[in-house]
């Protein structure tokens, strides 16, 4: 990577890190390569892959199932980060509402498993922990549109 691109990427990463801290001081961010988006409970870390933008039905689910009228006003990247923060903010306690074996199965799915399977996507995004994390993201955007503009503009 050339120096100019490296500087630009570092600036983007700093902006995202500051954005996440503005939501909750206890959170940190880790940028990885090829690992997707996930929340690490032991370290309160949102893990973000800047190269992985596979939708796997998330945007459709936002619009059609959550009835989020502004789903496509923001990029998948932003939704993914906010969804993962939502896991932290809802404290993962809601995982107890989902059958543990079923949850392990859904979490083992890859993008290839669910990319074109709407039934699997709906079941996965309908898990209590996934649903609540997405609802948290939707509510956060409703309440913080001006703050979000600072990151995406």
Sequence-ordered list of residues with C-beta below 8 angstroms from that of 31, at least 6 positions apart, any chain: 13, 47, 48, 49, 50
d(CA 76, CA 74): 7
List the chain domain ranges.
3-152
CB 65 within 8 A of CB 135: no
Record the pTM: 0.79
Which pLDDT belongs to residue 77? 83
Residue 68's Cβ-side half-sphere holds a number of Cα atoms within 13 Å equal to 24
Which pLDDT belongs to residue 78? 87
3-state secondary structure of 81: helix
Which residue ranges of the chain lie beneath pLDDT 70?
A: 1, 33-36, 49-55, 92-116, 152-153
Which pLDDT belongs to residue 112? 62
Which pLDDT belongs to residue 75? 85
Number of H helices, E strands in the chain: 8, 3
Which pLDDT belongs to residue 88? 84
Which pLDDT belongs to residue 119? 78
Interior/surface letters 91-127, b for 16+ CB within 10 angstroms, e for the rest: eeebbeebeeeebeebeebeeeebeeeeebbebbbeb
């Amino acid at each position: 990577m050339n120096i100019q691109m490296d500087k630009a990427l570092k600036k983007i990463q700093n902006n995202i890190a500051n954005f996440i801290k503005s939501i909750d001081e206890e959170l940190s961010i880790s940028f990885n390569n090829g690992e997707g988006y996930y929340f690490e409970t032991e370290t309160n870390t949102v893990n973000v892959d800047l190269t992985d933008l596979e939708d796997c039905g998330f945007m459709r689910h936002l619009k059609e199932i959550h009835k989020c009228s502004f789903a496509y006003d923001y990029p998948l990247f932003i939704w993914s980060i906010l969804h993962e923060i939502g896991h932290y903010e809802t404290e993962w306690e809601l995982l107890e509402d989902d059958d543990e074996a079923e949850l392990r199965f859904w979490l083992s799915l890859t993008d290839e498993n669910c990319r074109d399977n709407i039934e699997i996507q709906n079941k996965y995004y309908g898990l209590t922990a996934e649903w609540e994390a997405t609802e948290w993201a939707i509510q956060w955007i409703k309440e913080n549109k001006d703050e979000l503009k600072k990151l995406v503009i």
